[in-house]
Structure 1
Amino acid sequence: MTKNGIEAAIAKLRSEPGKRIELRDDKEAGLLIRAGERGASWSLAVRLQDGQRTRIKLGTWPGMGIAEARAAARVARTQIDQGSNPNERKRVARRTAAIASLNRKTLSEVIEDYDKAVLSQHRRGAQTKRALDGKRGLLRTLLNRQPESIMKAEISDLVKKHAKTAPIAANRNLAYASAFFTGASTKAFWPKIRRRKCASRPRKMSASGFTQSVSSKRYGPPPAHWAIRSPSFFGC
């Protein structure tokens, strides 16, 4: 494999739209370059220690030349020999970077991202968003805070305050908040910081317990089938 050979193959490829080519290196086992309409990239075809075959992306051509690709392939092979999976290491690094980015966002920005990606696709998405950050939303006083700084006790106080005047609405908004925290965490909009710190399972509060906790007896107890199930974020 030479630079001129790669350039000639890519030049020929341009005259055949939709076609892809794959060239294998004759010096570094498993090293290959794949080229198509969108560009060319280096990868290493290897077998992991568990026997699984995989391809490890090394870089793109021409930013990474032949010598650099061969060196990167040797590094990746060394990691595999040591029991590591370079692809998994990259995924962990991306996940760590994503969490760091989320931690720099405010709760308002996280809700907006979640609204665009999830709530906008649901029939009651707009209603759910209003229950979170609307004029009477449960989380509206926390919108400028970073998610990692929000504590369970703050959410609990907001629910109790809301329940003094509108217990049923407070119950409903807590359910929306629960779905948001759980869903955002699952879909990587919300870093799972609180979940790592919480060893206990989410707690379930009975209807009578809810009534007592918010001191709303004068409104009468909520229906028997209503029960508050706090998400893992609240149930530490």
Structure 2
Amino acid sequence: MIALICVGRRKLAGVGECVQVWDARWDTVAETVMITQKKIRDALPAEGRGTWRDPDHPGLEMMGNQRGGSWYLRRRVDGKRIRDTLGRWPGLTVSGARKAAEALVGATALKSAAGGDPLADREAKRQEKAKRREAKTVKEALDMYAKAHLATLRSGDHAESVLRRVFAKILLVSLADMTKPDVIECVDARREAAPSAADQAVRYAKPFWGWIAARGYGDDLLVGVKVSQTNKRDRTLSVIEMGKILVALDEMGPDSPALVIRTLIATAGRLNEVAGMQVSEVEGDLWTLPPDRNKSNRVHLIPLNAEALAAISQGQGAGLVFPGRNGPYNGWSRFKSRLDKACGVRGWVFHDFRRSFATICKDRGVDAVVADRCLNHAAAGTQSTVMRIYQRSEMLDQRRAALDIWSDTLAEARGIAAGGTVVALA
């Protein structure tokens, strides 16, 4: 082994103060004391904290007990006494600690010789470490942001849900360790399954990271990142495509996600609204969607046609009609892949059924305002006052008729895809 013996202080060219350096003679001086892990352990207390000092290396010491401790190097740099942490024992052995000390002191000497300031560099590193220790995680910052800002917004709950879902992978990461690629990677992963949802996530995330930077918690990692303008979808499913999807869902049986999608299709509804359907919201053939669970922020009454009632009747929940493992089912990307494989239809999303519903209504002569009311769309800003009042009315009879037409269309599609006789559900 190499003995690390301090041979004093040497003045280096261009350096006003002296610094400790290693002498080349270390390579040839035999170690005077053979130190083993066992000897160190025997010299330390079983409990509490003790100190073992390297007899061949003044300044090198290990503080701890027989279970473990830390290596330190005490020395002077530019006349100032400092202590450096080298690593943990027993993972870092005596030999390893000596090599680490040699490298550290050698680097300090070279820095000083080059006109640098080792103490200033050391202080900068210390401050950086302290900053990292005190840094909040993404989750902690999001909790604060939700309480301080999102809680004041009408869409705050939805925004928070999107942020937690899209950035789930990095929620426990310290903001001090976050990089722009980390954030973009989460968005890109979401974009593969749902491009528009990824764009929405960026819209919510940009002010969140701006808020982080404004309060000094971290950098604004999305500055300069623009929200992609996702091409507006105009996909309308054909009757045969709708039939294939329905047949595949039927074959999945009373599986909660399959029943949710069957109800989603039958009601031309929105995924989160149907997945969160409560038993208390359904009475007979009418579903009352409360204002806090739909985008219009008002009570929305939905007549339930034969297709919807057939799916809902198979729901097995006491609170939720279609219960997941812990609340509403939310593994939709995985389920969608499974459904795509089962039905053989490609390039579609759940929302396409709402567009298909509107198309069928138009083809079957349903008033556009009635169809829009079924979809629970907000009234257009260009409409007259009379038209907006008309659209806000319930129009239950007209909507029930429109949804019955839709139910018959779905039964027809199922029959065509199955290659049999079309039988409408009673």
TM-score range, shorter chain: 0.3 to 0.5
TM-score (normalised: structure 2):
0.27
Choose 1 or 2 for highest CA Rg.
2
